[in-house]
Amino acid sequence: MALINCPECSKEISDKVKSCPNCGFPFDDALSQNEETKPQQVELTGVKISGGKHKKTALFIILSIAIIATIFLGIKKHNEKKAQLAYQEEFNRYIDNLNTAQILMLSGGSDAEGLCNLTGKVWYNAIYEKKDSTTDKYTRPSGYFVSDFNTALANLYDASTTKATKEDIESNQILVKDMMKELQNPPEGLEKCYETVTELYTAYKGLTDLAISPTGSLTSFSESRNTKISNFMDLFDKLNNQIPDKFETNSD
């Protein structure tokens, strides 16, 4: 037998008693509770924990990610190819419009150049009374020279052939103006072409306007005509050299 302290009243009592003789604290309940609270040891024999299910889940996730990535890359490549084809179509269409604008301006510029040259010739021959088979009907319609070169110029611009040429030039100006609207938004890589065709249009407009309504003296008119014709042709050649080849299209 040994002496212990009661956990309730702290007095010494025998370890054999079932309850404290001083305060009545029951030792049987305390012992049973201590036994219940002791951790139970469980021995596992023949039990094998397997990670197969987790491995399958991880594999499924990896495969899913790979499939999604493949689909995403496929869609991306498809969209890139579609965008490239759309760009090539826009690029080719713009070059077609550039060529059309060139042809229209060359046609109107050629008519304007011819009319300007004839105007200058009539003007000169009327002032200096030079006979010429192409200008006599304007400078000397009655067999003798008119007294004022303005009369000769009026005869020229009242002629049916001159009126027809002026109408052709004015109609051409409308077509060119509409075509320039189509060229306002060049695709990437053709910005320089747009700058040049804009300069060409300015030169074209100056030349055609001069042909329709000549102004100034003979000297200033002749100088303006020569400058405008030269500038127009220089810009025409510049644009011609700038325009690249079109993309080859797949006929399949």
Q: Please provide the DSSP assignment of 44-112 as one string.
A: --S-----HHHHHHHHHHHHHHHHHHHHHHHHHHHHHHHHHHHHHHHHHHHHHHHHHHHHHHHHHHHHH
pLDDT given at position 4: 80
Q: Which residue has the tokens 């080849």?
A: 245
pLDDT given at position 44: 47
Q: Which residue has the tokens 């965008």?
A: 83
**Encoding tokens for residue 17?**
């008693």
CA distance 231 to 225: 10
pLDDT digit string (tens) for 172-181?
Answer: 999 999 999 9
pLDDT digit string (tens) for 156-175?
Answer: 999 999 999 999 999 999 99
CA distance 199 to 34: 104
Q: Is the pLDDT of residue 218 over 90?
A: yes
pLDDT digit string (tens) for 51-64?
Answer: 667 777 888 788 77
| Nearest one of 24, 23, 12 to 4, comparing CA atoms | 12
In the structure, what pLDDT confidence band is assigned to residue 18 with cuts at 50, 70 and 90? Answer: confident
Check residues 60 and 194 and name the one with the higher pLDDT.
Answer: 194
Q: Where are the domains positioned within the chain?
A: 91-242
pLDDT digit string (tens) for 102-125?
Answer: 999 999 999 999 999 999 999 999
Q: Is the pLDDT of residue 31 over 60?
A: no
**Averaged over 191-218, what is the pLDDT?**
98
The residue type found at 55 is K
pLDDT given at position 7: 79
Q: Is the pLDDT of residue 37 over 80?
A: no
CB contact at 8 A, 203 and 230: no
pLDDT given at position 30: 52
Check residues 7 and 185 and name the one with the higher pLDDT.
Answer: 185
